């Protein structure tokens, strides 16, 4: 009796879950749909891929290195109602993370890693950080490029650009540079226009008239 019960349970599990390889993904529907080839040459077309709230991705198609793999569940044990519960892709998974680490990654070598020391963003491409208003319009932006150039800007046109060894700042239209506090300059200062309203300017220990 117990053997028959265990055998029935095993059959139920085999009917409820299987695995397969992804052949195509369609991200246009409200719930992503995928085509999957099952272990026993079963073809599942347009089945729902249940993505957790707050996470969305489009799995890569097959290539010469293999294919993404899907875990397929059958609601009520019915082969007529499959859903994809998870998709894994061993071609691009980052390895050798430390216990407790978490990584978001793609196949372009872009990755955000949460470690015990903090958060690290890695990308061979451009990284853009945007803040937006309630209408979705960008109000400020930080752009980091693989060349090393970094640009900070806001909706009013003010910018700070670090490009190579140079740093350039530019106020927005009608704006101006404002410095509250002391300024120490270790090096020369060149002005292309008149310096006005300055008091107590000292150069090489001597006062300078402006």
Q: Which fold has domain 2-88?
A: OB fold (Dihydrolipoamide Acetyltransferase, E2P) (2.40.50)
What are the boundaries of each domain within the chain?
2-88, 93-122, 126-175
- The whole-angstrom separation of Cα 97 and Cα 83 is 30
Q: Per the structure block, which two tokens stand in for 194? A: 């008149």
For 144-188, write each residue's pLDDT tens digit.
999 999 999 999 999 999 999 999 999 999 999 998 988 888 888
Question: Which band of pLDDT confidence, cut at 50, 70 and 90, is reported for residue 1?
Answer: low
3-state secondary structure the chain: CHHHHHHHHHHHHHHHEEEEEEEEEECCCCCCEEEEEECCCCEEEEEEECCCCCCCCCCCCCECCECCEEEEEEHHHCCCCEEEEEEECCCCCCCCCCCCCEEEECCCCCEEEEECCEEEEECCCCEEEEEECCCCCEEEEEEECCCCCEEEEECCCCEEEEECCEEEEECCCCCCCCCCCCCCCCCCCCCCCCCCCCCCCEECCEECCC
pLDDT of residue 209: 59
Q: And the tokens for 145? A: 């490029």
Nearest to 161 by CA among 153, 30, 178, 99: 153
Taking the model in full, what pTM does it have?
Answer: 0.74
Q: What confidence score (pLDDT) does residue 7 get?
A: 58
Q: What is the pLDDT of residues 116-141, one digit of tens each?
A: 999 999 999 999 999 999 999 999 99
What is the DSSP-derived secondary structure letter of residue 15?
H
pLDDT digits (tens, 9 = 90+) for 2-12: 666 655 555 55
């Amino acid at each position: 009796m117990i053997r028959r019960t265990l055998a029935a349970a095993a059959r139920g599990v085999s009917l409820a879950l299987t695995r397969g390889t992804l052949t195509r993904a369609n991200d246009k529907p409200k719930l992503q749909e995928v085509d999957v080839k099952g272990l026993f040459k079963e073809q599942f077309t347009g089945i729902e891929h249940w993505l957790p709230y707050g996470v969305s991705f489009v799995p890569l198609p097959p290539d010469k290195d293999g294919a993404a793999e899907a875990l397929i569940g059958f609601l009520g044990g019915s082969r007529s109602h499959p859903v994809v519960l998870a998709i894994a892709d061993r071609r691009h998974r980052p390895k050798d993370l430390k216990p407790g680490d978490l990584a978001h990654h793609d196949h372009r070598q872009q990755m955000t890693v949460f470690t015990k020391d903090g958060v690290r963003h890695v990308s061979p491409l451009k990284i853009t950080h945007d803040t937006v208003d309630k209408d979705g319009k960008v109000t400020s932006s930080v752009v980091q490029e693989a060349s090393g150039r970094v640009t900070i800007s806001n909706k009013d046109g003010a910018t700070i650009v670090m490009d190579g060894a140079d740093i350039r700042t530019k106020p927005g239209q009608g704006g101006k540079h404002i410095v509250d506090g002391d300024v120490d300059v270790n090096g020369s200062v060149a002005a292309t226009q008149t310096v006005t309203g300055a008091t107590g300017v000292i150069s090489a220990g001597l006062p300078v008239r402006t």
